[in-house]
Amino acid sequence: MTSPAGLREARAAVRLGIITPGRKRLFFGAMLLLGLVLPQLVYPVFLMNVLCLALFASAFNLLLGYTGLLSFGHAAFLGTAAYVAGWAVKAWGFTPELGVLAGTAAAALLGWLFGALAIRRSGIYFAMITLGFAQMVYFLAIQLPFTGGEDGLQGIPRGRLLGLVPLEHREAMYLFVYGVFLLGFFAIYRVIHSPFGHVLRAIRENEARALSLGYDVDRYKRIAFVLSAALAGLAGATKALVLQFATLTDLHWHTSGEVVLMTLLGGMGTVMGPSVGALIIVTMENYLSGVGDWVTVIVGAVFVVGVLAFRRGLVGEALRVLRRFPF
């Protein structure tokens, strides 16, 4: 039987937003079940696109929401991985999982190169440096022969997973994409709840204090940048297999801006916020495509209203409300 002191501690934990192990298991179990049921209710290709962009937004949130670094060039990692994975599968005959790994590795390498230079600055200077690097990658993609220029890299085969399971079937492809999303999501979850993640939050809140405590701030920033780039690349490589093409859109600055929108709308610094933001934005762009260019105006209006009405994002505000209740 729980003592009064134990009850008070439990209630205090809930008010502080601490999730008990039981609630964690319930949440992740519900998340797994929902992901398995949804393909029976919603078009699977649409769901796969949402999952890829949700992973992309979650990777970006690791950098912005937990490290405090605003990158305007994250599309470079998404697009680079898409092109590398697509070319590896199409031209070199890689199996899908090896193609995805090749794209992820390319994004991680690019992230290391970008991060080594960009973290020397902070604030708007950091954001502009990442944007400049991303634009360099964009123009390289236009010129390089294997990318297909403005036509993009098309006809990417999905192949056979491990050389055995054909991914041409929607069900098999969806399970593969869902597995990749869960792998990336739980990797991010483990990072932000590890001692490393606590140091990242300390850097975000007060970099000077973290430095005075003896932490190598630049090293932590660089590692966070590479991790974020690699996970964004994982999303891009998987997306290329889903849609079976990679285009300049994946590298465009508009995509970098869109992931910022997803993160802020869903809830920066929350685990599920970026995924919710990605779901909202992709759903609006998909089902409002009939209105033409007005979809951009509508998305912008929703973003403005969301930021003004929900300062912590949709998930952040929902968590704030839930913390008011003892149970």
Task: Report pLDDT for 294.
Answer: 74
- Would you list the domain boundaries of the chain? 43-252
Residue with tokens 């192990």: 21
Which run of H or E residues covers position 246? strand 245-246
Q: Predicted confidence band at 212 (pLDDT cuts at 50, 70, 90)?
A: confident
Beta bridge partners of 161: 165
Q: Are 269 and 57 in contact (CB under 8 A)?
A: no
CA distances in angstroms from 12 to 4, 19, 324, listed in the order given: 12, 11, 10
User: Residue 115, Cβ neighbours under 10 Å: how many?
Assistant: 25
Residues 6+ apart with CB under 8 A from 190: none
Give 141-167 pLDDT, tens digit per residue: 998 888 888 888 888 888 888 878 888
Task: Report pLDDT for 17.
Answer: 43
Give 315-324 pLDDT, tens digit per residue: 877 777 777 7
Could you please report the per-residue DSSP string of 87-126? HHHHTS---HHHHHHHHHHHHHHHHHHHHHHHTTS-HHHH
Q: Which two tokens stand for residue 284?
A: 């609006």
Beta bridge partners of 246: 153
Beta pairing class for 165-166 and 245-246: unpaired
Closest CA relative to residue 228, chosen from 268, 191, 196: 191
Q: Which two tokens stand for residue 168?
A: 């041409």
Quick one: what percent of the chain has pLDDT higher than 90? 30
What is the model's pTM? 0.87
Percent of the chain as helix, strand, coil, to the nearest 5:
75, 0, 20
